[in-house]
Amino acid sequence: QAEILGTLTLVSLDPDRPVAGPTLEAAQSIAGQAALALDNARLYQQQKQFLDSMQHSLLPREDPVSEGLDVSAVYASSARMEVGGDVYDFLELADGRLAVVLGDVTGHGIDAAADMAMAKFVFRSLARENSAPADFLAAANEIVVEEIGEGKFITMLYVTVDGRDGELACASAGHPPPRVVRSGEVVPLGVRGLALGIAPGQEYEPERLRLEPGDAAVLFTDGLIEARRDGELYGEERLDAALAANAG
């Protein structure tokens, strides 16, 4: 039995001109096209709701509580995309350090959501045994190389920080380097490496520093610096200026 999506009523006020023939055929054609458009819109909305729910289920529900650290995160999807590929997560290690991962998978939609789930699983399963950033990314890359689809990859930033002494360690797999904000000065960390899933046997050079009281470490995805207005990128210079102006 066909499902009714709506009704179309035709009325003739002239008894000598009943609704029939070509008029009725045209109305049936228009109604059929309208029904198809309505059904497609409804299916799209259902898919979007499913993807939104899946995406948010992969993100932390609350910020972590870690001694000596004030941690916060902001996630905002682009209005132009059904589902982006950004994922982040926190994990408290056995020695009290906080591990943070920030990743960006290629593509959008269902495929991106599936790769986001893989990225979160890799982080949760490897970080406890490979807590050093270089070791973690090297091990993560071997898994992603085997599991991700051809032509796809994941950029990832991995950070550990000890709120008791300020010790921070960081490594990057093709991800924009984080900033350290100190007394109004913004310093990009010089971490770089090949994105996960492109080639096996990769090594990732870490960078270490000690955060002082009042310092901030800022992690972000390229969705921030590649945001556009009238075709112009937001860019790293504007980001650094905004961080410096709001250093407190």
Please write the tens of the pLDDT for every residue from 81-116. 556 678 899 999 999 999 999 999 887 777 777 888
pLDDT of residue 233: 93
Task: Give the pLDDT score at 51.
Answer: 66
Identify whether the C-beta of residue 137 lies closer than 8 Å to the C-beta of residue 107.
Answer: no
Contact indicator for 206, 215 with CB cutoff of 8 Å:
no
Note the pLDDT of residue 61: 85
Q: Could you give the CA distance from residue 135 to residue 205 in angstroms, rounded to a whole number?
A: 10
Count of other CB atoms within 10 angstroms of residue 205: 12
pLDDT for position 161: 97
Torsion sign across C-alpha atoms 124, 129, 131, 136:
negative
Position 238 scores a pLDDT of 95
Q: Is the dihedral of CA 36, 40, 41, 42 positive or negative?
A: positive
pLDDT at 37: 86
H helical segments located in the chain: 22-57, 109-126, 133-147, 222-225, 235-245
User: pLDDT for 129-138, tens place per residue?
Assistant: 999 999 999 9
Residue-level pLDDT at 164 = 94
pLDDT digits (tens), the chain, 248 positions:
577 777 888 888 888 888 888 888 888 888 888 888 888 888 877 777 766 666 677 788 888 999 999 999 998 876 555 566 788 999 999 999 999 999 998 877 777 778 888 899 899 999 999 999 999 999 999 999 999 988 899 999 999 999 999 999 999 999 999 999 998 899 999 999 999 999 999 999 999 999 999 999 999 999 899 888 888 999 999 999 999 999 88
- With beta carbons less than 8 A apart as the criterion, state whether 206 and 152 touch: no
Q: What's 186's DSSP letter?
A: E
Q: What pLDDT score was predicted for residue 38?
A: 86
108/121 Cα distance (integer angstroms): 19
Q: Which two tokens stand for residue 118?
A: 């893989």
Tokens of 155: 């950029």
- How far the first Cα of the chain sits from its last, in Å, is 64
Helix, strand, coil percentages for the chain (3-state, nearest 5): 35, 20, 45
| Number of helical H runs and strand E runs in the chain | 5, 10
Q: Which CA distances in Å does 94 have to 98, 123, 240?
A: 9, 15, 34
Query: What single DSSP character describes residue 185?
Result: E
